[in-house]
Amino acid sequence: MDIDLESQFTGALIGSAVGDALGAPVEGYSREKVNSVYGARGDWEMKSGRYTDDTEMMIGVAESLIENRGFNGADMAHKFILNYDVSRGYGPGSKEVLRRIRAGESWEAASEQLFFGEGSYGNGAAMRIAPVGILYFDNAEVLREIAYKSSQITHAHVLGKEGAALQAYSIALAVQGHKEDMLPRLKAFAKEIYNEKLNTVERLLGGDMEEKEIITELGTGVAAFDSVPTAIYAFCRFDTFEDAVAYAISLGGDTDTIGAMTGAICGAFYGEEAIPGRWIEKLEEGEKGRSYIKKLGNELYRIKMHP
């Protein structure tokens, strides 16, 4: 594959934001209801272009990694708080954690209290992980370590963290040009129930499955294990950014997040140029809009090249 690495970096971040904005107007909708809004897959137009918490938090992850030239938990938590705009639709757990940190709890401890002391296994850590996936694409162990640490700020449950690590590693493999052989590599990396989920992805890719079977078997929910494997499936099944992301959203459920995660993997694999221009143009601009997101990708690339 002959794609510019810098374009894969910017593609991962813009791809994630585009998937988020495209899925946002139909978040929580059934498959049928998504279809009634967007119509058949093929030539979807972006409805609003406004991104949600998925992208707002991804921006915080990128800003902090850039400013600190690596992971700094207290600073990343601070970035989340600075960027926080409640109208972007945060999950209840993440809202609560950010409130606790603002009130003085440490970034490491605040998330531990959630869900009766179990910590959250929501997909909120995986949805924002693209900057980690690109910056650490060539070192799986460091990637897992930073994915876990960045997750800890809001998601203390091992399944929330491992979902983020799996999403980050999918992005890393995409940067390296692995698509046909992505699944065996992911299976060698994955822990916990994600291994079984990846076996299911492999089986489903073997046949031309109906959408409702995909939804039942992989899930389209807000838990990391009901959404990260679904994004991986969408990437593996299709050959273009547009087809994979539209398919992921067409399933319904947590559409902005599954759209964002599919968009991040696709953008990392195909590069920024492969993202439909009409979607990028519609993505919101402004202080932290599409130009800014692209710039974050450029800066992460610069850090990677000149550590």
- Give the binding site for Mg ion (CB under 5 A): 52-54, 89, 254, 256-257
Extract the tokens encoding 146.
């930073």
Decide: 91 and 53 in contact? Cβ < 8 Å: yes
Using CB under 6 A, which of 120, 150, 151, 170 touches ligand R7I? 120
Using CB under 6 A, which of 124, 252, 271, 276 touches ligand R7I? 124
DSSP structural state of residue 274: G
Q: Is 53 one of the binding residues for ligand R7I (CB under 6 A)?
A: yes
Quick one: 163 or 267, whose CB is closer to ligand R7I? Answer: 163
Closest separation in Å from C-beta 60 to ligand R7I: 13
Using CB under 6 A, which of 78, 256, 271, 272 touches ligand R7I? 256
Of the candidate spans 10-18, 50-58, 134-142, 176-184, the one that interacts with ligand R7I by CB under 6 A turns out to be: 50-58
* Nearest-angstrom CA–CA distance, 150 and 65: 10
Residue 94's binding partner among ligand R7I, Mg ion, none (Cβ under 5 to 8 angstroms by kind) is ligand R7I
Closest separation in Å from C-beta 51 to Mg ion: 8
Residue 91 backbone class (left: φ over 0; alpha: ψ -120 to 50; beta: rest): beta
Quick one: 7 or 220, whose CB is closer to Mg ion? Answer: 220
Quick one: 173 or 231, whose CB is closer to ligand R7I? Answer: 231
Could you say which residues in the range 217-236 bind ligand R7I, by CB under 6 A? Answer: 222-223
CA-based nearest residue to 51, from 272, 285, 213? 285
Using CB under 6 A, which of 94, 150, 220, 262 touches ligand R7I? 94
* Interacting residue ranges for ligand R7I, rule: CB under 6 A: 52-54, 89, 91-94, 115, 118, 120-124, 127, 157, 222-223, 254, 256-257
